[in-house]
Amino acid sequence: MILNEISETGELSITEMHQRLQIPKSTTFVILSTLEKHHLIEKCAEGKFRLGPAVLHLGAAFARQTDIRAVARPHMELLVQGTPFTAHLATLVGNQPVYIDKAEGDGFVRFATTIGQSLPLHASGVGKALAIGMSDEEIANAVESKLEPLTGKSYRTIEEVLEDIRMARKLGYAVEDEQMEEGIRCIGAPICNASGKVAASVSITALAKDLPVFKLQQIGERVKQTADSISRDLGYAPDPHSTQENG
């Protein structure tokens, strides 16, 4: 409780902790002494306490030990359970999304996607979701020479791509509607790490007949909720006061 309170306020005195947390002063003093001994807090001006360097060490250790695939896997399996969908987990390698995990649903059709497969940033569900965390300039530079049409619905201009990603930022998920392969739809959402950066994306892939247009919003929200759950398990805590578009 003390560490959480200090992290939210920046600096606190013993009296302030006692008043805010309703912990006896004697108990507060003992806990603070222990935390200070292990460098989890440190004393600063006017006898107040702030977080110490050991907190950073613990955070770095958590980041090193966290395998995003292990964290995401149960969420992906739950997302596609009882559906004909396939879930994919991807991360950026250079400017291209690459699949790093895959979970099959209960459908008869099995998509011929593989771990390590790279995809176009602007024409894949996982790619568009990853692009949510990029600036418009970064997106334009990444796709400028790769806009050759793959289907009749493929984008021909950078502005079309950017308009799609801007809408995805507002929704919190991206839709790929037969732009990479006819008859196939995907919905992807970004996954944030503890520092708030988009580190990966999760998507569902389905036959167009199994993912009709009128279900895109409903399933999109499910994919977004899955991505948000994975993000929380990775240590991401969104700012409740932020007015930025959801990324």
pTM greater than the 0.75 cutoff: no
Task: Report pLDDT digits (tens) over 10-59.
Answer: 888 888 888 888 888 888 889 988 998 888 889 887 889 988 888 877 76
Give the DSSP letter of residue 195.
Answer: T
State how far the Cα of 140 lies from the Cα of 127, in Å rounded to an integer: 13
Whether the predicted pLDDT of 199 surpasses 80:
yes
Q: 3-class DSSP state for residue 185?
A: strand
Task: Report pLDDT digits (tens) over 46-92.
Answer: 889 988 888 877 766 665 656 899 999 999 999 999 999 999 999 98
Termini Cα distance of the chain: 29
Q: What's the confidence (pLDDT) of residue 62?
A: 61
Whether the predicted pLDDT of 244 surpasses 60:
no
Q: Where are the domains of the chain?
A: 1-63, 66-234
Indicate the pairing of strand 184-192 with strand 198-207: antiparallel
Both tokens of 103, joined, read: 């979970």
pLDDT band at 242 (very low <50, low <70, confident <90, very high): low
Q: What is the largest CA-CA distance in the chain?
A: 72
Homologous superfamily in CATH for domain 66-234: GAF domain (3.30.450.40)
CATH 1.10.10.10: does it fit domain 1-63? Answer: yes
The full length of the chain comes to: 247
Count of other CB atoms within 10 angstroms of residue 120: 21
